[in-house]
Amino acid sequence: MSVKDVYEEMKAKLSNVVPDVELHLKAELVYEINKLKEAKNAVILGHNYMEPALFHTIPDFKGDSLYLSRMAAETDKDIIVFCGVRFMAETAKILNPQRRVLLPAEEAGCSLAASITADDVRQLKARFPGVPVVTYVNTYADVKAESDICCTSSNAAAVVESLKSDIVIFLPDEYLARNVARDTGKHIIFPYLDDSINSDAVGLDYQMIGWRGRCEVHEKFTVQDIQDIRLQYTDVVILSHPECSLEVVEASDFAGSTSAMIKFVEETEAPRYLLLTECAMGDNIAATNPEKEMLRLCRVRCPHMNEITLEDTLQSLQDEKYVIEVPEDVRELAVRAVERMIAIG
């Protein structure tokens, strides 16, 4: 396939979301990346938040973090290039340590993953001995290593219920925890707000213990945003991610993981949709569903996901950087929590 063929393919798929001048430039990068991917026996995984010219071209597998974790675990390619953020690439390394895992941009972090340390988890476990710890996959390997089981936004409630425990520690996203507490009928407390709360606290009724992490993208959406859009477009269907506040989720028509949102748009017939999540996902859905009108609230972007570009991905394959490493003692503990999550599905 020549650069011209790549350009024609991209034009057919993306002309409604990517300007033509950009398509020409990006087609050359896609061509080079695909050539190198084959030469180096690499697989590229692309998260749903990647920009459309990357998302719809170079990944062998694309989707949410749960699906991409599964694909990372199963691949027999020599190199995994993770077009996503650091905690995702770490999860790939945890599940498939024989492979060389590359993250195209060294700085691609996550406000949720940065909100908690392994020491924070150890301190919580000391305050609430014997209480199982559920950790969102949006955390670093050493935090996963302190956990009993991981979860994603698509299986968080199922993971909590699978533990059949009277009390569960759920880390680190405050809003996801509040949404899961509502869905599972549990009362949640946030002991970081009060140092005196521990497992001996008398008369305190709770079944979930949360933390103060927030996604810097999803925390910015407000009920006012929803009201403003509904005033302008009375027939809009609004979808939110469970990393949004409880109030935003309740004011939306549907809430779910990135994959659940994509499925919802594909399987329903509404005049227009608004996704309260990373803006690139609206473009990605619009590219494959040109008949659906996707409204965008693009003032809110994830700076970490946006670090990953086609240029960086080419450079990453050329120089085999940035290599993701997880110390073996940490990996051995973390892999149990991740595999337990995958088994729940």
Q: Which residues bind ligand SF4 (CB under 6 A)?
A: 85, 110-112, 138, 215-217, 278, 302, 304-305
| Identity of the residue, 79 or 308, whose beta carbon is nearer to ligand SF4 in the bound complex | 308
| Identity of the residue, 305 or 334, whose beta carbon is nearer to ligand SF4 in the bound complex | 305
- Whole-number minimum distance, CB 313 to ligand SF4, in Å? 17
- Whole-number minimum distance, CB 78 to ligand SF4, in Å? 27
- Whole-number minimum distance, CB 167 to ligand SF4, in Å? 26
- Whole-number minimum distance, CB 232 to ligand SF4, in Å? 25
| Identity of the residue, 6 or 281, whose beta carbon is nearer to ligand SF4 in the bound complex | 281
| Identity of the residue, 135 or 138, whose beta carbon is nearer to ligand SF4 in the bound complex | 138
| Identity of the residue, 109 or 132, whose beta carbon is nearer to ligand SF4 in the bound complex | 109
| Identity of the residue, 14 or 305, whose beta carbon is nearer to ligand SF4 in the bound complex | 305
| Identity of the residue, 101 or 110, whose beta carbon is nearer to ligand SF4 in the bound complex | 110
- Whole-number minimum distance, CB 259 to ligand SF4, in Å? 14
- Whole-number minimum distance, CB 277 to ligand SF4, in Å? 8
- Whole-number minimum distance, CB 156 to ligand SF4, in Å? 13
Q: CA-based angle 166:171:176, to the nearest 5?
A: 90
User: H/E/C letters for each residue in the chain?
Assistant: CCHHHHHHHHHHHHCCCCCHHHHHHHHHHHHHHHHHHHHCCEEEEEECCCCHHHHCCCCCEEECHHHHHHHHHHCCCCEEEEECCHHHHHHHHHHCCCCEEECCCCCCCCCCHHHCCHHHHHHHHHHCCCCCEEEECCCCHHHHHCCCEEECCCCHHHHHHHCCCCCEEEECEHHHHHHHHHHHCCCEECHHHCCCCCCCCCCCCCCEECCCECCCCHHHCCHHHHHHHHHHCCCEEEEECCCCCHHHHHHCCEECCHHHHHHHHHHCCCCEEEEECCCHHHHHHHHHCCCCEEECCCCCCCCCHHHCCHHHHHHHHHHCCCECCCCHHHHHHHHHHHHHHHHHC
